[in-house]
Amino acid sequence: MCKKVVVILVILIVTLFCLGVQVKSQEKFCAPRPITYKITLEIGSKQISINNAGYMMDFPPYIKNGRTMIFIGFIDGIFGYTIEKNEEEIIIKDGGIQITMKLDSEFAFLSYDSRRTYKFALDAPLEIKEGIIFVPIRFISEQTGLHVSWDEKEKKVIIDNQEEIQKTMPLLTLSLAGLLILCIK
């Protein structure tokens, strides 16, 4: 009986995971969003690499106050986040995470599942250049659980979710192991 429960739970978890990935992949995007990914952006270049496959962006990233600025379409197109914008602010949503940034404000507001809102000082606030909205990529990426690194020599930004996967996989393994131990007892 316990083996059947474990098998059913494992099948259910895998099915839900696969459905979640499928739903994400059907959202508006410019390039495929694999489960694990490494995105490389070069300052001043429209070329973008996702898991070593080349794609083109509409506008190149640039540096402002030591921070890499990227056009808002990148956030929507590559990561699949929901973007709401008006003349005064943008709201970026990823699941239960919501980032609110106001034009010419040095602060961003971050909330998790609408429980609490946190105020963060920004080195480089949201900016509009020639009618295009640009945002600081490190802040948004890190607040949504991604790892960001900077290659000074190559002037490249590397964004990946390897750290996020390494954090969640042991939890899933421990959960399944705990379930198996309970069934054995």
> What CATH number corresponds to the domain at position 158?
3.30.457.10
pLDDT at 31: 44
Which of these, 34, 36, 64, lies nearest to 125 by C-alpha position?
A: 64
| Number of folded domains that form the chain | 1
SS (H, E, C) the chain: CHHHHHHHHHHHHHHHHHHHHHHHHCCCCCCCCCCCCEEEEECCCCEEEECCEEEECCCCCEEECCEEEEEHHHHHHHHCCEEEECCCEEEEEECCEEEEEECCCCEEEEEECCCEEEEEECCCCCEEECCEEEEEHHHHHHHCCCEEEEECCCCEEEEECHHHHHHHHHHHHHHHHHHHHHHHC
**pLDDT beneath 70, residues of the chain:** 1-35, 163-185
**pLDDT given at position 170:** 43
> Are 32 and 50 contacting, i.e. CB atoms less than 8 angstroms apart?
yes
Determine whether 137 is exposed, middle or buried from the number of CB atoms within 10 Å of its CB (0-12, 13-18, 19+).
buried
Q: Are 48 and 117 within 8 A, CB to CB? A: no
Q: Which domain holds residue 77?
A: 2-184
Tell me what pLDDT residue 2 has: 60
pLDDT at position 134: 92
pLDDT of residue 161: 84
Quick one: pLDDT at residue 3?
64
Compute φ and ψ for 184, nearest 5 degrees: -70, -35
pTM across the whole model: 0.67
The confidence score (pLDDT) of residue 167 equals 45
Give the number of other CB atoms < 10 A from CB of residue 103: 15
